Structure 1
Amino acid sequence: MALIALLSNPRSTGNRAILPRIRSYCAQHSEIFHYEVEDVDQIGDALRTISRVEPKVLVVNGGDGTVQMTLTELYHGGHFEGTPPPLAVLPNGKTNLIALDLGASGDPIAALERVLAIARGGVEAHVVSRELISLSSGEANEKPVLGMFLGGAGLADSILFCRNKVYPLGLPNGLSHALTFVAVVLSLVIGIRAAFLPPRPRPVTVSLIRQGVIQGSFALLIVTTLQRMLLNTQTSTAEAQPGALKLMMVNHSPFSLVRAVAAGVSGKLGHQRLAGVHVERGDEIRIEGERSSVILDGEVYEARAGGAIVLTQTSPMPFLRLAA
């Protein structure tokens, strides 16, 4: 039996520099069972092996794709008897939104040390529940993919712009994200199309079961079960609204974007109506539009021709929160 099972993907970008330190740390601490995969398709087999050591905490060390595949396998695979151990995520990806939501930031080794200290003292006080986003086309007998943060419309275009145009420059992640944000704002203000700016978002139709239909072109479209969105903004919505899926859409307008960011940073987002800003909450969301594509925890998904992207919430899963 191990206190911690650490699942690492050596091929993730962040691990190219940190993995030797991770291996050295694990070699010095026998309470950690370290399992490395060569490809995300091996994660199911990895979890079957990990279940045999009965860890108190499962830690993922990899990029967004590794985290997403682990969540999907944990939910669908039945690799653990009953409820799986609480999941912790090391800050190792490009965006680290899940890790940040759970209180992990900075050096991955420091985060792993914190997880080990919690596991030694008892994890119960640090376990939190989070629902997941289940993404499918709505067809029968389809295995959905699971995640916790989805970006669509202009945000998906901006993420792809950052990934394809900015990251190759080799700049630090924080500077890359800042440059992308500036490019997004410039494209909104100038209103022109250029190779050095993100493309103009296509119109989409977003349907919520109880709240109705919203149509338009949006600079941001976010669906999440996390407590925070981009730029450290809160995702609080009115308590009377049912559903764990938190939706925020911002019209393709610089004034709407500024209002949304200001309200989010001040903690007022979702507590008052803002022109051009839509904040809702539900248990099923449909996204439709020509060549509609979304990014769920770093992975791109596109609706089939004439089809839709259907998002539903799952039952809660346990996670380990590192912050006090």
Structure 2
Amino acid sequence: MKHIGMISGPGYHNNRGGLSRMRRFLAGIPELRHEEVATPVDVARALSKFREANVRLVVVNGGDGTLSMVVTEVMLRRAVGDAAPLLAVLEGGRTNMSAGDFGCRGRPTRALRRILRWAERPGGDGDIVERAVIRLTTSPESPSRYGFFVGGGIIYHGSKGCWTFRETSVLPASETGLGTALGVAAILGKLLVGKTPYPPVTVGVTADGVDLGARPWVALFVTTLERMALGIRPFWGEGDGPLRITGVPDPPRGVFLSAPWSLRGKPCRWTSPERGYTSLRARTAVLTHIDGVTLDGELIQPEDGQPMSLDATESLRFVRT
């Protein structure tokens, strides 16, 4: 227990009373080190304390954004020689997409109990999985950010729209997950009747040094997750790199007809290259002329029109119980 630390961030579940429940639960485990964070500076401070205390397992209690902050700091420290700790991820956020792939499912306090039992008997009820980490670089002068999902086009603009809707809507509970659901429903409704909810973005894509050309995309995403929210796997392309890249063209013809196949990672005639769709795997990617992306929910814009570079040459280990 003395080698375990936990970082809690401002995830949706935590903000809705989950953090208070976690504090009460931890009151009975005083030897477990717990740090609450809100910014990257807080995360850096927490990991420094854990390093001094020889913490070997860091539990992340928060959403995808909190996990991205922790992973970014871990990877930046690894670059200067620090060893990366073993990680475990709880579902303390709104979508918990990364936790759904390699984390510990269920209510955070219950998941933490399973982690603690596993720590007492490593190799028992649980396993260790490894995931490649995406490094996103916006310019040579700026520090890299790290995460597991990068989305552009409708994903980027839809995220901005959902945030705006939750902040400005007068509907009850619109600032909660209901607001996200209503925003996504509006986007899907427009797609269903053949309309593009947001103007397409013309983005150039280079994968492993091969120029795939620039074209208008409704959606473009890159991930190292094996499955995304709701268990979908919308990547069916070939290759052996950890980056899974999928692009939906403008206009998005056949997007709903293809869903029974494409969402399960199966190719079909509706998502063929001849129809403008792209799905492949690679080790590196460069995105040019893109107006912005989301990295695990964080909105990121290019710097002075410079391309965004992605790679996934390093990985981290996670306890999954």
What range describes the TM-score normalised by the shorter chain of this pair? 0.7 to 0.9
| Corresponding residue number in structure 2 for 1:95 | 95
5+ long unaligned stretches in structure 2: none
Q: Map 1:33-44 onto structure 2 (within 5 A).
A: 33-44=33-44
Identity of aligned residues (%): 29
Going from structure 1 to structure 2, the CA distance change for 1:175 and 1:257 (only over 3 Å counts) comes to farther
Contact residue 8 and residue 37 of structure 1 kept, 8 A: yes
Q: Map 1:1-324 onto structure 2 (within 5 A).
A: 2-9=2-9, 11-16=10-15, 17-78=17-78, 83-122=83-122, 126-139=127-140, 141-166=141-166, 169=171, 170-171=173-174, 175-190=178-193, 198-234=197-233, 237=236, 241-269=239-267, 274=272, 275-289=275-289, 292-322=291-321
Matches of 1:273 and 1:87 in 2, distance apart?
Answer: 36
CA deviation profile, 1:207-238 (whole Å, cap 9, x unmatched): 21344314323222111111113442125655
Going from structure 1 to structure 2, the CA distance change for 1:293 and 1:283 (only over 3 Å counts) comes to same
How many matched pairs? Answer: 314
Greater shift, 303-312 or 165-174, is seen at 165-174
Shift of 1:123: 5.1
Going from structure 1 to structure 2, the CA distance change for 1:271 and 1:188 (only over 3 Å counts) comes to closer
CA deviation profile, 1:34-79 (whole Å, cap 9, x unmatched): 1223533221111011123333421112233321111111011249
Going from structure 1 to structure 2, the CA distance change for 1:296 and 1:266 (only over 3 Å counts) comes to closer
TM-score (norm 1): 0.84
Matches of 2:266 and 2:258 in 1, distance apart?
Answer: 9
Moved beyond 6 Å, runs of 4+: none
Shift of 1:270: 8.9
Matches of 1:73 and 1:178 in 2, distance apart?
Answer: 31
> Could you say what secondary structure the match of 2:184 adopts?
helix
Contact residue 238 and residue 271 of structure 1 kept, 8 A: no
Contact residue 165 and residue 179 of structure 2 kept, 8 A: no
Shift of 1:172: 8.6
Going from structure 1 to structure 2, the CA distance change for 1:266 and 1:22 (only over 3 Å counts) comes to same
CA deviation profile, 1:125-184 (whole Å, cap 9, x unmatched): 611111111111252x54211111111111111122122214754259665444333322
Contact residue 251 and residue 257 of structure 1 kept, 8 A: no
TM-score (norm 2): 0.85
- The amino acid of 1:306's aligned partner reads G
5+ long unaligned stretches in structure 1: none
Shift of 1:272: 9.8
Contact residue 157 and residue 201 of structure 1 kept, 8 A: no
**Cα RMSD over matched residues?**
3.0
Matches of 1:177 and 1:2 in 2, distance apart?
Answer: 39
- The amino acid of 2:313's aligned partner reads T
Contact residue 236 and residue 265 of structure 2 kept, 8 A: no
CA deviation profile, 1:176-200 (whole Å, cap 9, x unmatched): 444333322333355668xxxx422
